């Protein structure tokens, strides 16, 4: 890939059957910098239904040969991809900067996403030996081998907030399991993610990885309902997830859905509340301007420590610098898009209008930029009414409600009083108490004395209870979802 001038707009294509192409019809759409909405970052290809069909057919044609490779052979290719993703520092820097400009998140985070993707290829490759083992059940009553087979073409749909990390929770797993894929990145973050996926695809046989960018209203349903799709792995909002599930029902196509969250954190009366703890609370909440499914979104604090937490967290938030994510001194960039900006501003205004105590924190060195871009300072809402949207809904932006509680039973009930059930956290010095509260929480993942991506163990299956989703990504279990079980049996004493 040639390194282009950071200031010149870039154009990305789609990738089908081993080559970069223009979309059928040649259309593209523009992507602007959310810190400076009048700055054009580039154009991404607007794929059509015709492109969906071509990508599906390419993936379908590549499937038998890819599935026939051994796990060890596929693992070797995944390891090579992991190395190549970080081999060229100049190219990596370029993609990280481009990603920062199209997305808004700070450059350190875009660099982190780039390296995390390679790590997730390594992790999936490490399961090769375990995956190759069938289960043997000697009779009586029968001799039975329980084996697994890849499903076929998997459709992978990712959102804009952490597109590469999220892709890393499904793409290497699909590949090691023996599937071929068609990927759809989000409309709102398509340039650097596409370039990165093109690089991965170029290191594999043609047709194994295909990628389509464009408008979901044009290609979304076609991807989900295409007769060659054998599995759909979707990450995004509850509303679109529900729609995808309904569409998938037509062909009885299995789905994994990773949807929204409204994660509760519980700060017990014996929690260690030092500077490190407040920084972990800040990062768990406000990293990526709060646009993380597994971000801390409701903070419940034992009444005896409430003032201490309010002061400690306010102090950290006040130190943060909000501005253009490309600048090294910036701690928080803008929200990714106008719609999300409107949603978060609306929730803060609703709390203010209801007479709640709202504090917007942080340093803004460039007020003019702040006024033009999709910015929102880190905002704390103190002891709000539980019926407000900032408590009940997923804010997916830099605002956090902080609420006191008195007993463990009360706080567990409040934490579980949500249609969501993605992640949660418990903060205490007492190990037994931590695990006993954690086991009562309706959430797919509970962090102890931390919260969010920086504390996540990629070996653990990840996903949600209730409307936060169906199925799991990551870990060994995340690979198994890309396979079907197949039992082979005979009369006893013949097969085993
Ligand atoms: P979204 O649901 O609007 O879009 C997600 C993806 O689905 C995008 O690529 C979009 O183009 C595509 N899409 C839209 N309509 C479609 C259709 N009809 N058929 C097929 N695909 C379609 O979500 P978003 O705004 O990109 O992301 C934010 C949401 O994602 C938040 O709710 C957040 O919590 C959630 N999220 C969940 C996780 C998780 O792991 N649970 C991770 C990150 C984000």
Q: Which of 190, 233, 240 to mutate to test the pocket of ligand 1 (most atoms within 8 A of CB)?
A: 240
Say how many Å lie between the CA of residue 117 and the centre of ligand 1. Answer: 19
**Catalytic status, residue 90:** no
* Token representation of residue 330: 């910036």
Cα-Cα-Cα-Cα dihedral of 377, 382, 387, 391, to 10°?
50
User: Tokens 């950290």 belong to which residue?
Assistant: 316
364 with 323: CB under 8 angstroms? yes
- Identify which of 213, 208, 256, 247 has the alpha carbon closest to the alpha carbon of residue 227: 247
Continuous segment of H or E residues that includes residue 37:
strand 36-45
d(CA 423, CA 402): 17
C-alpha 71 to ligand 1 mean position (Å): 31
CA torsion, points 281, 286, 292, 297, in degrees to nearest 10?
Answer: 60
Cα–Cα distance, 310 to 366 (Å, whole number): 27
Choose the catalytic residue: 268, 293, 317, 423.
293
Residue 94 has a pLDDT of 94
Q: Is there a catalytic annotation at residue 22?
A: no
Structure confidence at residue 146 (pLDDT): 98
Q: How high is the pLDDT of residue 177?
A: 98
* Protein residues whose CB sits closer than 6 Å to any atom of ligand 1: 157-162, 166, 184, 186-187, 216, 220-221, 223-224, 235-237, 240, 243-244, 258-261, 293, 394, 396, 422, 464, 469
Cα-flanking dihedrals φ and ψ of residue 299, to 5°? -110, 110
Between the CA of 162 and the centroid of ligand 1 the distance, in Å, is 11
Instruction: Return the ligand 1 atom nearest residue 162 CA.
Output: 43
**Which residue has 């596929």 as its token pair?**
74
Give me ligand 1 centre to Cα 73, in Å. 33
In the reported structure, the alpha carbon of residue 168 is separated from the centroid of ligand 1 by a whole-number distance in angstroms of: 16
Q: Out of 102, 218, 258, 394, which one is annotated catalytic?
A: 258
* pLDDT at residue 360, as a whole number: 98
* Atom in ligand 1 nearest the alpha carbon of residue 187: 11
Report the residue among 237, 470, 473 best suited for mutation to probe ligand 1: largest number of ligand atoms under 8 A from its CB: 237
Q: Give the position, in ligand 1's atom list, of the atom nearest the Cα of 258.
A: 41
Task: Say what the pLDDT of residue 408 is.
Answer: 97
Answer whether 0.95 is exceeded by the pTM.
yes
DSSP string, 339-371: HHHHHHHHHHHHHHHTT-EEEE-SB-S-HHHHH
What's the residue count for the chain? 496
Delineate the domains of the chain, giving CATH numbers in brackets. Answer: 3-260+473-485 (3.40.605.10), 263-458 (3.40.309.10)
Supply the angle between the helices 71-85 and 191-202 in degrees, to the nearest 10.
130
Instruction: Quote the pLDDT of residue 6.
Output: 60
Each residue's pLDDT, cut to its tens digit, for the chain (496 residues) gives 444 446 689 999 999 999 999 999 999 999 999 999 999 999 999 999 999 999 999 999 999 999 999 999 999 999 999 999 999 999 999 999 999 999 999 999 999 998 899 999 999 999 999 999 999 999 999 999 999 999 999 999 999 999 999 999 999 999 999 999 999 999 999 999 999 999 999 999 999 999 999 999 999 999 999 999 999 999 999 999 999 999 999 999 999 999 999 999 999 999 999 999 999 999 999 999 999 999 999 999 999 999 999 999 999 999 999 999 999 999 999 999 999 999 999 999 999 999 999 999 999 999 999 999 999 999 999 999 999 999 999 999 999 999 999 999 999 999 999 999 999 999 999 999 999 999 999 999 999 999 999 999 999 999 999 999 999 999 999 999 999 999 999 999 999 9
């Amino acid at each position: 890939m040639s390194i282009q001038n950071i200031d010149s707009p870039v154009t990305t294509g789609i990738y089908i059957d081993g080559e970069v192409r223009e979309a059928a019809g040649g259309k593209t759409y523009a992507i602007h910098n959310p810190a400076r909405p009048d700055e054009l970052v580039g154009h991404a290809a607007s794929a059509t239904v015709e492109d969906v069909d071509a990508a599906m057919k390419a993936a379908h044609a590549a499937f038998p040969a890819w599935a026939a490779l051994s796990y060890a052979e596929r693992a070797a290719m995944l390891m090579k991809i992991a190395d190549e993703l970080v081999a060229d520092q100049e190219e990596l820097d370029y993609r990280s900067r481009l990603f920062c400009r199209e997305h808004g998140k700070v450059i350190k985070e875009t660099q982190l996403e780039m390296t995390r993707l390679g790590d997730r290829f390594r992790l999936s490759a490490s399961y090769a030996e375990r995956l190759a083992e069938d289960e043997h059940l000697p009779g009586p009553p029968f001799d039975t081998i329980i084996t697994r087979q890849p499903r076929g073409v998997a459709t992978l749909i990712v959102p804009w907030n952490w597109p590469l990390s999220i892709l890393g929770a499904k793409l290497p797993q699909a590949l090691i399991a023996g599937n071929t894929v068609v990927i759809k990145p989000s409309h709102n973050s398509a340039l650097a993610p596409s370039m990165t996926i093109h690089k991965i695809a170029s290191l594999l046989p043609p047709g194994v990885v295909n990628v389509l960018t464009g408008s979901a209203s044009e290609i979304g349903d076609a991807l989900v309902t295409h007769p060659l799709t054998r599995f759909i792995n979707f990450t995004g909002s509850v509303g679109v997830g529900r729609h995808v599930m309904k569409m998938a029902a037509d062909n009885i196509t299995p789905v994994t859905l990773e949807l929204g969250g409204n994660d509760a954190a519980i700060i017990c009366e014996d929690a260690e509340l030092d500077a490190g703890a407040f920084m972990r609370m800040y990062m768990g909440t406000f990293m990526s301007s709060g646009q993380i499914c597994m971000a801390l979104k409701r903070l419940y604090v034992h009444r005896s420590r409430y003032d201490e937490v309010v002061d400690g967290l306010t102090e950290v938030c006040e130190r943060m610098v909000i501005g253009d994510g490309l600048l090294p001194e910036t701690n928080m960039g803008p929200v990714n898009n106008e719609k999300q900006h409107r949603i978060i501003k609306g929730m803060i205004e609703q709390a203010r209008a209801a007479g709640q105590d709202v504090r917007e924190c942080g340093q803004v060195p460039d007020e003019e930029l702040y006024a033009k871009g999709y910015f929102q300072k880190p905002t704390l809402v103190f002891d709000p009414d539980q019926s407000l949207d900032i408590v009940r809904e997923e804010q997916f932006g830099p605002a956090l409600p902080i609420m006191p509680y008195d007993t463990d039973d009360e706080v567990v009930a409040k934490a579980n009083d949500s249609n969501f059930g993605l992640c949660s956290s418990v903060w205490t010095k007492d190990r037994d108490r931590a695990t006993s509260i954690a086991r009562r929480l309706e959430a797919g993942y509970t962090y102890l004395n931390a919260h969010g991506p920086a504390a996540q163990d990629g070996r653990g299956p990840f996903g949600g209870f209730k409307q936060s989703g169906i199925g799991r990504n990551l870990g060994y279990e995340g690979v198994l979802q890309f396979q079907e079980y197949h039992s082979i049996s005979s009369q006893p004493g013949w097969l085993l």
